[in-house]
Structure formats: C-alpha cells, structure tokens
C-alpha cells in the first residue's frame, strides 16, 4: 500500500472503524501533510485511549486504486492499520479463502499469519472462593428465596469463580 510517497505494510483490521498510520511512518514521509485536529481514539477495552491526530488529505493507493484521504496518525506498532473507512472507500472485499483483498477486480495478496507455525498458549484455570457477606441476593441481583426466614440477614454465601489465565 502506498501512503504519500512511502510504501507501507498495512494490517487489515476489519474491526477498526478508522485506518491508522503509524506516527513513525508519518515522520518518515518526504512531504508531511498538515495536522487538521488532535483526536483521542477509544480502544476496544473501553478504558484505554490512544492520542493522535488527523492529517490533511494525502495520496493513498491500494493496488491500482488511489484516492486522497485524511488519515489518522497515532503511535502504533504496525506501519498501518487498514480499517473500515479505507476498505469501504476502495470497495475492498476480503477473501479469506484465497488470502487476498479484491479491489475493483484486482487481487491483492495478503500475508496472513494463521498458516504460520502456531503460537502455543497455555491456559491455566484457577479458582478462588469468596465470602460475599450478608444478604448475597441483593449483591448478586437475584430474588431472595429466604426473605420470610428470620435469619436471612446473617446468611453468608460462598461463591466460587473460575478464571482463565493465559500464558505464552
């Protein structure tokens, strides 16, 4: 993919609303487009924010198709994330069976990693028991079956949670 005057490796991220150019790649552009505005991008975990900016329109080319687009720039590890905005703009179709993007009839090969040697993740299950305290039904949001019972406020529940932990 060509962005400005630079060839970049873009990771297709169909779950991302916006495409993001790495700030390191932006800094290497011969003619840097100006900044239109600062932005805060909400990440998937809803608690993390990525600070960046939107550029003035610059030349973006995917295969033989090209356009001038304002691009989000942020400090990311990939050179670029190709999100829904540019995928839609180029009317790209993702063909997972053939490992390619289809753009106006042109097949652009993808370098997918799922056919590479798999990364083994060890999942360890551990459990812990927690005392919730008096009247756990209110804490757990369930209707109490013991409301008529005189000692329901002194009842303690034992709750066991099983939580996965992934190690690599």
Q: What is the pLDDT of residue 30?
A: 93
Q: What are phi and psi of 25, to 5 degrees?
A: -70, -45
Tens-level pLDDT at each residue, the chain (168 residues): 999 999 999 999 888 889 999 999 999 999 999 999 999 888 777 778 889 999 999 999 999 999 999 999 999 999 999 999 999 999 999 998 888 999 999 999 988 765 554 444 545 555 555 554 554 444 444 444 444 544 444 444 555 454 555 444
Taking the complete model, does pTM exceed 0.85, yes or no?
no
CA 150 centroid distance within chain: 51
CA distance 10 to 33: 19
Q: What is the pLDDT of residue 15?
A: 86
Distance from C-alpha of 26 to C-alpha of 116, rounded to nearest angstrom: 30
What are the residues whose beta carbons fall under 8 Å from the beta carbon of 113, sequence distance 6 or more? none
The residue written with tokens 């991008």 in the block is 41
In this prediction, residue 86 carries a pLDDT of 95
What is the full DSSP assignment across the chain? -EETTEE--EEE-TT-SS-EEEHHHHHH-SSPPPEEEEEEEEPTTSS-EEEEEEESPEEEEETTEEEEE--EEE--SSSEEE-HHHHHHTT-EEETTTTEEEETTEEEE---STTSPPPP-EEEEEEEEEEEEE-HHHHHT---S-TTSTTGGG-EEEEEEEEEEEE-
CA pair distance 119, 134, nearest whole angstrom: 45
Supply the pLDDT for residue 72.
94
- Would you say 33 and 55 are in contact if contact means Cβ atoms under 8 Å apart? yes
């Amino acid at each position: 993919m060509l962005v400005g005057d630079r060839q970049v490796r873009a990771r297709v991220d169909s779950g991302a609303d916006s495409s993001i150019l790495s700030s390191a790649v932006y800094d290497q552009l011969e003619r840097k487009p100006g900044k239109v505005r600062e932005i805060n991008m909400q990440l998937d975990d809803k608690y993390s924010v990525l600070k960046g900016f939107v550029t003035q329109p610059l030349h973006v080319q995917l295969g033989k198709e090209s356009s001038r687009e304002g691009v989000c720039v942020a400090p990311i590890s990939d050179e670029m994330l190709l999100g829904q905005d540019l995928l839609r703009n180029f009317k790209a179709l993702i063909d997972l069976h053939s490992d390619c993007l289809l753009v106006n009839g042109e097949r652009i090969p993808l370098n997918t990693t799922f056919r590479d040697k798999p990364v083994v993740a060890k999942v360890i299950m551990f459990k812990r028991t927690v005392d919730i305290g008096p009247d756990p039904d209110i804490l757990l949001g369930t209707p109490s079956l013991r409301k008529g019972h005189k000692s329901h406020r002194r009842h303690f529940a034992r709750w066991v949670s099983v939580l996965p932990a992934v190690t690599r």
